[in-house]
Amino acid sequence: MANPDIYINEVRKTFKKWRLLIIVGVMLLVLLLLKPWVQIGAGERGVVLNFGAVQDKVLDEGIYFRIPVMQEVVLMNVQVQKIQTDASSASSDLQDVTLSVALNYHVIPDKANVVYQTIGKEFKERIIDPAIQEVTKAVSAKYSAEELITKRPAVSTAMKEALTEKLMASNIAVDAVSIVTFSFSKVFMDAIEAKQTAEQHALKAKRDLDRIKIEAEQTIAAATAEAEALRLQKMNISPDLIELRKIEANLKAIEKWNGVMPQVTGSGPVPFIGVNDLQKK
């Protein structure tokens, strides 16, 4: 029969091993549940809270250990983000206008803790949207409805400058502002269309007038050139030249004559052009 003491010792050793494994397992489970580390990814910053109080230190990208229960790390996105907001306003000539504004912005990384402490993560709804509404009304009131269309780049620049100044106070940087669309009342759009049609007709009429003027100038120039040529030719005509042209005409007539006198009925002399001229020569 085996010694009872040896059996008891073996049981005790086995129990100690299992107890150690259980303790290690419980500790690992507690660590997993408490999660005493935090990983901060690319484009993020960590805001440290000690029992809910925001600390001055902002954690950069990487892995950090924290004290469970006591410390909490809140992740803040500091990448460039885009939002698009519709805003209604009035132009300087009291035309109702609706603008769709696209804004690119980012939280200033070193001030992520201040943004979280003063605004929280809902800064779009709390700060950015109201700022866009206010700036849109202020900028639109400086331009007429037509200028809002024709001076669109200037309007975008003015809005960007105003939004940059306003949002920087909340530690939010503006990267770009663009006006996606303008919408006006139907009456105003009809008036714009009628004006454009009238301008197109006026432009066509001007082009036609210019074409007529050019054609008239060309006709006058051609007539002037022809008159000048006739004048010069007339100046060069002399009695000798006239006599020479007559002789040339008679010679051509003789070359074509077949030697038969034309049969002419009736009284009167038989016509023979230029015979007297040839006799004189």
- Per the domain annotation, does 270 fall within a domain? no
Q: Kindly state whether residue 249 falls inside one of the protein's structural domains.
A: no
The boundaries of the domain holding residue 59 are 4-77
* Residue 180 placed within a domain: yes
Q: Which mean pLDDT values do the consecutive 10-residue runs of the chain (281 residues) have?
A: 62 71 72 76 93 92 87 93 89 86 95 93 90 93 87 92 94 93 74 72 77 81 75 64 70 67 53 47 47
Domain boundary, last residue among 184, 219, 252:
184
Residues 156, 71 within the same domain: no
Q: Mean pLDDT score of the chain, rounded to an integer? A: 80
Q: Go through 29-53 and write b for each residue having 16 or more CB atoms within 10 A of its CB, e for each that does not.
A: eeeeeeeeebebeeebbbbbbeeee
In the numeric block, the tokens 């008891």 are attached to: 8
Residues 90 and 175 in one domain: yes
Statement to judge: residues 50 and 129 lie in one domain: no
pTM: 0.57
Scan for tokens 């107890």, then name that residue: 19
Task: Clarify whether residues 196 and 170 are in a common domain.
Answer: no
For residue 192, being part of any structural domain is answered with yes
Same structural domain for residues 51 and 41? yes
Is residue 178 domain-shared with residue 192, that is, in the same domain? no
Claim to verify: residue 152 and residue 210 sit in the same structural domain: no
Residue 171 lies in a domain: yes
Query: What CATH number is attached to the domain comprising 149?
Result: 3.30.479.30
pLDDT at 63: 92
Count of domains observed in the chain: 3
pLDDT of 184 reads 77
Q: What is the dihedral of CA 188, 190, 196, 199, to 10 degrees?
A: -100
Closest listed residue to residue 64, CA positions, set 77, 45, 80, 82: 45
191 and 179, same structural domain?
no
Whether 136 and 117 map to the same domain: the answer is yes
pLDDT for position 117:
93
Enter the tokens of residue 115: 């943004």
For residue 74, give both structure tokens.
């809140």
> Is the same domain home to 159 and 93?
yes
109 and 168 belong to one structural domain: yes
The pLDDT score that the predictor gives to residue 157 is 93
Cβ partners under 8 Å of residue 116, min gap 6: 47, 54, 74, 76
273 lies in a domain? no
Q: Does residue 156 belong to any structural domain of this protein?
A: yes
Clarify whether residues 86 and 179 are in a common domain: yes
pLDDT in tens, 140-171: 999 988 888 889 899 999 999 999 999 999 99
Q: Is residue 8 part of a domain?
A: yes
The number of CA neighbours under 13 Å toward the Cβ of 117 is 17
Q: What is the pLDDT of residue 240?
A: 61
CA distance 137 to 91: 8
Q: What pLDDT was estimated at residue 21?
A: 75
Looking at residue 1, its pLDDT comes to: 47
